[in-house]
Amino acid sequence: MPTGQGAHTVEMTLDQASRLAWSVHAGQVDRAGRPYSEHVFAVRDLLAPHGVHAQMAGVLHDVLEDTPVTADDLRGRGCPEVVVRAVEAVSRRPGESYGDLVRRAAADPLGRLVKLADNRHNSDEGRLAALPAEQADRLRAKYARAREILEGGLAAVPPLGGAAGPAPGPDHRRPAGPVATPRSTLVVIYTDRAEECRSFYTALGLGFLREQHGRGAVHHAAVLADGVVFEIYPATAERSTGAVRLGFTVNGRLATPPLEPGRHTLTDPDGRAVDVVAV
């Protein structure tokens, strides 16, 4: 439970952060009546490719908002400052709108990753299916708009929870000076071996969620570094991914089996060459 401020020379471990989250969320349930700890542990696991601090921030991401724990309590327990800042970034402040919270989270590099993982788990169709249809549809739209902000489209997205204002005039649609360099935010492969590919990329340290958007196909999605989303869809007659070459930087210690530091060329179940840089 909360400890308050105080000198602490030993840094909190992931196991200690997880046990703290389990303890303070005990007795809490989500909208469907499931133990709330299931959610924070799922967010933690989705962040495994991003390292221990990301996982700590993931499992602790709701303690400031939903429990008596404070940021100083976390510091007093030895929680790294980068983790505390990320948890603060994703914690709603009194009177703050959901849209403002998402924008604030997007401004913190680690907070952005945590909020993306939180959004992914909240958007899981298995969880939404347990809710009344109208509520589930409302949440789908809410989380989809939040993803646009978190994945980089801040200027183009109206505030969440409110109507969009008047369309900007021509002078405001294109900023003066150089145009921002495009950045990849989504990679999708279509395959007849979706489960085998999921297992292959999971072994590299990616954390996948099973998803379905509306009436679309059930697929697997993982959030990579910098918020890039990697999705694996079942192939159809119209959509099938051929001989593309993919590349990832991974934590070699998290791979199964572990990878020595350096560059490796692997082959996924579809025969695609996958360039892997293990760090």
Sheet of 186-191, strand order: 186-191, 229-234, 219-223, 208-211
Query: Are 219 and 231 in contact, with CB atoms under 8 Å apart?
Result: yes
What is the pLDDT tens value at each position of the chain, 279 positions in all?
A: 555 544 556 899 999 999 999 999 999 999 889 899 999 999 999 898 888 999 999 999 999 999 999 999 999 999 999 999 999 999 999 999 998 999 999 888 889 999 999 999 998 888 888 899 999 899 999 998 888 888 764 333 334 433 334 333 444 444 444 444 566 677 889 999 999 999 999 888 887 878 777 677 888 888 776 667 888 999 988 888 877 888 888 888 878 888 888 899 999 998 989 998 888
pTM above 0.95, yes or no: no
Estimate to the nearest angstrom the gap between the alpha carbon of 94 and the chain centroid. Answer: 24
The 246-250 sheet, strands edge to edge: 246-250, 273-278, 262-267
* Torsion angle of C-alpha atoms 83, 89, 94, 97, degrees rounded to 10: -150
Q: Which amino acid is at 60?
A: L
Please check whether residue 120 is in contact with residue 49, taking contact to mean a CB–CB distance below 8 angstroms: no
List Cα–Cα distances, 196 to 67, 202, 220, 229, in angstroms.
Answer: 40, 10, 11, 19
